[in-house]
Amino acid sequence: MVVVLEKHITPEQKRDLRAYLESKGYQVREIVGQEETIFGAVGIPRVDPREVELLPGVQRVIPISKPYKLASRELKKEDTIVPVGPIKVGGKRIVVIAGPCAVESREQILETARIVRASGAVALRGGAFKPRTSPYSFQGLGEEGLKYLKEAGETFGMPIVTEVVATENVELMQEYVDLFQIGARNMQNFELLKRVGRTGKPVVLKRGLSATIEEWLMAAEYLLAHGTDNVILCERGIRTFETYTRNTLDISAIPVIKKLSHLPILVDPSHATGIREKVPPVALAAIAAGADGLLIEVHPDPSKALSDGAQTLYPEQFEKLMRDIEVLAPVVGKEVAKLPSLEQGRQRGREAEKSSILNSGFRLHSIAVDRPVPHGQVPRIAFQGERGAYSEMATLSYFHFEVETYPQRSFQAVFDAVLEGKVEYGIVPLENSLAGSIHENYDLFLRYPDIKIVGETQLRIIHSLIGLPDATVEGIRKVFSHPQGLAQCARFLDEHPYMEKVPFYDTAGSVAYVAKEGKKEYAAIAHEGAARIYGMKVLKSGIETNPLNYTRFAILARAELEVGEHPNKASIVFSTPDKPGSLFKCMKVLADRNLNMKKLESRPIAGKPWQYMFYVDLELPEDLDIFKEAVAEISTLSEEEVRILGMYRASI
């Protein structure tokens, strides 16, 4: 049962209550939550809960209906966060544990640790004792493997995870491992669960081959009841009639577990699929479904792996997966856990460190215009740059029906094309998550009062090295791209010092130039779509230094062509008198009406030195009258009437 304590319970009352419950045969755990403190009393019921409710310091008693008590969400409302060395599993973090299926040699595990840490894994996995279906298969190196695993973990500052397969190995393994793993075949090896639970160490508990979710949680209950508070569940697929994949990943188990239990849950897509190419998409699906992390098999050369090579990722596959996870994490409101640097790790003695991540407001998501322009004609959209430019890619992502795109030489030309009716819409970038605002476009809004923002989209900027069809990365000597593209791929270019960086006016334009020149020692950095347009070849994809690279684009139209229903965002611009507190008064108008400001940008007013216009992006409430009242009041405080640049739908 759950005993909810009074907020002002005295230490003496708490001590007496614990003693009373223990005298009745209950195991008692105190859980301090954000709103209340409880005693979790677990055992064979020997007292009427109503009697407990009458004791001093008790607010109320809630019986736990589930057969699993300590693992139940009824016992603990908040998610459990499990500390493992310098990392924490659960909560808002996505933890990736990676390594080979089996430790094969000292060199192999050290090289694997180097690879997975460099790509972003925060813990190292590897089997020293291997339970195998065939008695003739590789069974692991035993204690020798544990020593290699521990050395690799210490060398690269990573906690280590390995499977325990027998009770007699628990004591031996304690001094080597940071996180025990109970494999699928041992999920209901109750003596092993009891023995591992008594160590108090964190444990990853894999779901059995044919176990129900309740049986899985009951196995976790054994671990919790015998001493450890830190259990991490791991869904690794169950056995069904389907034989195409190794197992059938029960992805629905993730949200079910989140509802039934407070314990964190990982997913092992390697064992779930058994097929290397299927691991990345299934891994991303698990994150999207709410998993707290992944357990991934990686090997320097899977073709030579002694165990499970077919489901093991190559280093470059794992690197790409990690970059994709970083992109997906903000979408599900989480952060990718990161290790401190090796130097920091040694100085802090494996102290935990929070990961940093891009503001979750940047999302890989497009809000589609749900209908074309009037009269049914194919909409025409102007964008700055050459064919294949990122602006064109954003256009094609945003509009979910057939459109015609028209490249323009400049941003001003985009505004002119819209104003003059040459096109129905225009698209211009407003802000890059790394480089900041594109001030030229903010200024253009002031010069084109008849143009409004009618939509917004964000595009992930994935840079590719593009060359002629017969070119190779090793053969490239000159790389052309926009200066920003070159800067955002600095790490890749530094790793290839023989490549000369040549600034060009446009990313897609640089691809067109390389195609025209026809020299296989030339390459360009641009969106991979430009390669298709100009008949070129992607030599290497995803070469940007920071994968959290997004650009936010505004969709433009003449005021009379504004589209979209139920706007959720607005952009306004105003100026303030040169008096103390002028801007504060305007911001207070928004705060008083609970209007959330998403962005504030100041720009100098042409012809008025040291005077500024303020651009503000706001979330719109359902009641638009609140927004209109705010605009009217700010107009009385500003030097000129507030201009509404647009009210539109966007991904907030």
Q: DSSP for 209-247?
A: TT--HHHHHHHHHHHHHTT-S-EEEEE--B--S--SSSS
Helix residue ranges, H only, 68-174: 106-119, 143-155, 170-174
Per-residue pLDDT tens for 633-643? Answer: 999 998 878 99
Residues present in the chain in total: 652
At 46 the pLDDT is 74
**421 vs 424: CA distance, rounded Å:** 6
For CA atoms 506, 507, 511, 512, the dihedral sign is negative
Query: Using 50, 70 and 90 to split pLDDT, how confident is the model at 66?
Result: confident
HEC assignment per residue over 318-336: HHHHHHHHHHHHHHHCCEE
Distances (CA, A) of 493 to 473, 482, 507, 523, 577: 11, 14, 16, 12, 48
Query: Which residues, at least 6 apart from 540, have a Cβ–Cβ distance to it below 8 Å?
Result: 464, 465, 473, 492
**What is the token pair recorded at 118?**
């460099």
pLDDT classification of 1: cutoffs 50, 70, 90 = confident
Percent of the chain with pLDDT over 90: 64
The Cβ of residue 421 has, within 10 Å, a number of other Cβ atoms equal to: 10
Q: Please identify which residue in the block is written with the tokens 């309740």.
A: 214
Higher pLDDT, 236 or 563: 236
**pLDDT tens digits, residue range 396-447?**
878 756 789 999 999 999 999 999 999 999 999 999 998 889 999 988 988 8
**Domains, in order of start, for the chain:** 2-62 (3.30.70.1140), 95-348 (3.20.20.70), 374-460 (3.40.190.10), 464-548 (3.40.190.10), 565-648 (3.30.70.260)
- Determine the average pLDDT of the residues in 591-599: 94
For 259, the token pair is 């509802």
Q: Has residue 123 got a pLDDT over 90?
A: yes
AA identity, residue 83: P
Task: Using DSSP, state whether 256 is helix, strand or coil.
Answer: helix
Distances (CA, A) of 316 to 280, 299, 313: 12, 10, 8
Q: Which is it for the CA torsion 241, 246, 252, 254, positive or negative? A: positive
Per the listing, tokens 């629905």 go with 252
Please give the pLDDT value at position 547. Answer: 86
Question: pLDDT tens for residues 74-111?
Answer: 888 889 999 998 889 998 889 999 999 999 999 999 99
Work out the average pLDDT over 177-189.
95
Highest mean pLDDT among 36-50, 376-390, 529-543 belongs to 529-543
**With 50 as the cut, is the pLDDT of residue 345 above it?**
no
Task: Check whether 139 has a pLDDT greater than 60.
Answer: yes
Residue with more model confidence, 71 or 45? 71
Residue 342 pLDDT > 70, yes or no?
no
Cα dihedral: 529, 532, 533, 538 (round 10): 70
What pLDDT is recorded for position 135? 67
For position 330, what pLDDT does the model report? 78
Q: Give the closest residue to 207 by CA, choosing from 165, 250, 260.
A: 250
C-beta separation of 80 from 263 below 8 A? yes
Mean pLDDT value of segment 194-223: 95
Q: By C-alpha distance, which of 494, 532, 483, 484 is closest to 511? A: 532
- The pLDDT assigned to 30 comes to 84
Q: Catalytic residue numbers?
A: 551, 553
Strand ranges inside 270-394, DSSP E? 293-297, 335-336, 380-384
**What's the confidence (pLDDT) of residue 215?**
96
